[in-house]
Amino acid sequence: MRYFIHLSFDGTNYRGWQRQKNSTSTVQETIENTLSKLFKKKISVYGCGRTDAGVHASQYVIQTYTKEAPLFDLKFRLNKNLPNDISIIDVIQVNENQHCRYDVVERTYDYFLHWNKNALLNRYSSFYEGINLDFELMKKAAELILKTKDFKALCKQPNSYNNTHCTITNCEIFVNEKQGRLRFSITGSRFLRGMVRICIFFILRVGSGKMTLEEFIKVLNQELNFKEKQPARANGLFLSKIEYPFLELNNSQNIVNTFSIGLKY
């Protein structure tokens, strides 16, 4: 029997989603160890995508397989045994041919940053002290990303992919100048490694006047090789929405909705 497990996690204390040879602090390993303890045998799980170290997920889906239905409340037991920075929202039985990763039609990422010091935001929003931004230029840069098809220039390891084409269906910036906060939201069919945080890097360069829109267009068109690109800080990034053609996930507990208050048009 195949199950999708809908969950969220705070990525601060983890080296990303995927199990690693040289690290025991990953979300995947933590969940697998907990499931194996509950079922008293080795249980493997597969995730809907990778997240880097320090990146959060306010909506994430994994899948696992059991020969028989569990004789206990799996959601309750998982929440009881997992650390507080991983929470289970739902356990859903699905068909054997449905896959949590390959059947995703769209993913949404949200990135939060602030420039007014705020002790309560630092864990989930990146603090850029003393930064002066032109928000209209940044929104124009986001429109350029929306129109882009080949993201080779905005990828950390482009040569590891057969192709670097992505279909972006939404790319927006929301600002609250009074609070000193900003949210970048992007939705697409797929994302390359480091792509969202590199998008933020270039948008901030444009917004701070370190790069013109014309130069950014050349970067996107691979006419200007910008070697110094550095992914934006991890703590402001959330994988915030996963969409399937056959399943509507419960979005009522998505913490990104709370963080987004005051950051909408």
d(CA 26, CA 18) in angstroms, rounded, equals 6
In the prediction, which pLDDT does 68 show?
86
**What pLDDT sits at residue 37?**
95
Helix (H) / strand (E) element for 110: namely strand 106-114
Domain spans, the chain: 2-94, 106-259
CATH code of domain 106-259 = 3.30.70.660
Token reading at 9: 């996690």
Give pLDDT tens digits for 3-61. 999 999 999 999 999 988 776 799 999 999 999 999 999 999 999 999 999 999 999 99
9 DSSP β-pair partners: 57, 86
pLDDT per position as a tens digit, 66-112: 988 888 999 999 999 999 999 999 999 999 999 999 999 999 999 99
Mean pLDDT of 154-171: 93
Who contacts 185 (Cβ-Cβ below 8 Å, separation ≥6)?
Answer: 108, 109, 110, 111, 170, 171, 172, 173, 174, 240
Please compute the mean of the pLDDT values over residues 194-222 and round it to a whole number. Answer: 96
Where helices occur in the chain by DSSP H, the ranges are 27-39, 74-81, 135-147, 195-207, 213-220, 255-259
CA 155 to chain centre: 15
Domain 2-94, CATH class in plain words: alpha beta
Render 209-264 in DSSP notation, one character per residue. TSS-HHHHHHHHTTSS--TT--PPPGGGEEEEEEE-SS-----TT-HHHHHTTT--
User: Which of 261, 220, 247, 230 shows the shortest CA–CA distance to 110?
Assistant: 261
Distances (CA, A) of 57 to 27, 51, 211, 228, 241: 11, 8, 31, 28, 9
Burial class (CB in 10 A: 0-12, 13-18, 19+), 216: buried
Tokens (6 digits) for 105: 């039609």
Scored b (16 or more CB within 10 A) or e, 57-84 reads bbbbbbbbeeeeeeeeebbebbbeebee
Catalytic residue among 10, 52, 103, 110: 52
Identify the band that residue 188 occupies on the pLDDT scale cut at 50, 70 and 90: very high
pTM: 0.95
Half-sphere exposure (CA, 13 Å, Cβ side) for 195? 29
Identical fold between 2-94 and 106-259: yes
What is the mean predicted confidence (pLDDT) over 167-171? Answer: 98
pLDDT band at 265 (very low <50, low <70, confident <90, very high): very low
Q: Is 52 a catalytic residue?
A: yes
Residue 215 has pLDDT above 70, yes or no: yes
Which residues have a Cβ under 8 Å from the Cβ of 258 and sit 6 or more positions away? Answer: none
